[in-house]
Structure 1
């Protein structure tokens, strides 16, 4: 994670080697290349400690906990999952990441994949990791695609088959075709009920925290695609973030660039850009 200080605000650049992949060792990164006794067989291992959190990560996690996620179950799952991941509560992290994943949150899906790759709270399994990360990469986010290609390309044939089978079971529940529809309904319902300040139910490539926000009640506030995420009980969501098209554009902008919600300056990314997301990428050599 990289913080670029600018006056009273700082920018948090979250990469797959910090939040979702925090604490990943070289051996874990290359776990897919280690031949298991059989596809899907549990690997004996010592308990994996939670990712290390410096002062900046702790502040970001605290800010997540203080942010409103009203009307945004994707952020609810992502924020709660991240907090539990760093606390070492892997069962809780997996539970909440799956909630975020059901509402099309790609960082939650990536995080589940990394839990399987590292063996945090689950048996280390690069095939299942590949399946989740392939799902997370279906919008073509560059860092996600890089992670997918590296992990999936190292699978042996038996692991690749297991990854394909697992992906087929995940897609009907967590793929964008169905998960985005759930999220659209949640946003539309919240927009229709918008009456004032609400309590909550991002992290991504670009998140900003500021101590001079007009609606943060004196604390730090996250920004999503350039639009402020209010703290619980302090102000309310920008109505533009309750418009599905604008919201998904803002989320994509975290990984592709920047966007001004309202007058969009970054187009919504296509559902299936470039690399087909229907199949797990094959390893380079058999």
Structure 2
């Protein structure tokens, strides 16, 4: 059990490889420092497409700045938008007593939610913890899970998240412009370093980026319908 706690602590923010993409990180590190978390660039404009991704990023950012209560609230918000990394991290925090009382049954409930798509990196910690639970802890975990499923289970959260994603993408595609300025997309640190702000990226590039991140957010969800790369229609040429 001690081995599980150490392993879980080491992996607590490995999920940034998925959710950190809200910060436009193509290759987020598997193990990150508090400074790297606090420096995460979370574009608020991603909230209209993938709120689970965005709120996880902001939660990690708050964790890195030692705003632990705010981080936990943001992880819970991300979890309500079907973020499996957020559900996993909440389980690790409960398991380790990370700025809260240690609660193994609650950790088991979060791990169960994180693992419901049978993704190996989430099922393995669940199996390791489940093997150590007492009968009383199992009963308490089941009680937690029964209540938590109403908000966080894929049957509820994933369709809601996918609807938000499709609505956001539809608005993006119908915007009509050749470029798209996502709110918060410009890293203010570039300005602080005297760098000139770059022009807004092409709309098609933003569409492709968000679509790629959606594949991560909905990873292994069997209810998710893959529609393939989205294309932005070219606006008709104006006549002189």
TM-score by length of 1: 0.55
Match of 2:165 in 1: 187
Task: Classify 1:166/1:241 alpha carbon distance in 2 versus 1 (closer, same or farther; 3 Å).
Answer: farther
- The Cα offsets for residues 186-241 of structure 1, whole Å up to 9 and x where unpaired, read as 1122123213212159xxxxxxxxxxxxx98996xxxxxxxxxxx99953663246
Distance 1:167 1:155 in 2: 15
Q: In the TM superposition, what are the counterparts of 1:97-176 in structure 2 within 5 Å?
A: 97-176=75-154
Task: Tell me the CA shift for residue 21 of structure 1.
Answer: 5.9
Task: Tell me the CA shift for residue 62 of structure 1.
Answer: 1.7
Match of 2:207 in 1: 239
Match of 1:48 in 2: none
Q: Give the one of 198, 202, 205 matched to 2:182.
A: 198
Please identify the structure whose Cα radius of gyration is greater.
Answer: 2
Q: How many residues align?
A: 187
DSSP 3-state at the match of 1:122: coil
TM-score by length of 2: 0.65
The question of whether the paired residues in 2 share the 8 Å contact of 1:68 and 1:232 is answered with: no
More strand, by proportion: 1
Match of 2:22 in 1: none
Task: Tell me the CA shift for residue 75 of structure 1.
Answer: 1.4
Kindly indicate whether structure 1 or structure 2 has the higher relative contact order, using CA contacts under 8 Å at least 6 residues apart. 1
- The Cα offsets for residues 113-160 of structure 1, whole Å up to 9 and x where unpaired, read as 111111123211011001001100111111111111111221111001
Distance 2:148 2:139 in 1: 14
List gaps (5 residues or longer) in structure 2: 1-6, 15-30, 191-196, 221-227, 231-240
List gaps (5 residues or longer) in structure 1: 1-14, 23-51, 202-214, 220-230, 255-260, 264-286
2:4 equivalent to 1:20: no
Task: Classify 1:88/1:216 alpha carbon distance in 2 versus 1 (closer, same or farther; 3 Å).
Answer: closer
The question of whether the paired residues in 2 share the 8 Å contact of 1:65 and 1:80 is answered with: yes
The question of whether the paired residues in 2 share the 8 Å contact of 1:113 and 1:133 is answered with: yes
Compute the RMSD of aligned alpha carbons: 3.6
More helix, by proportion: 2
Aligned structure 1 segments of 4 or more residues deviating by more than 6 angstroms: 215-219
- The Cα offsets for residues 5-27 of structure 1, whole Å up to 9 and x where unpaired, read as xxxxxxxxxx95545268xxxxx
Q: Give the one of 86, 104, 109 matched to 2:64.
A: 86
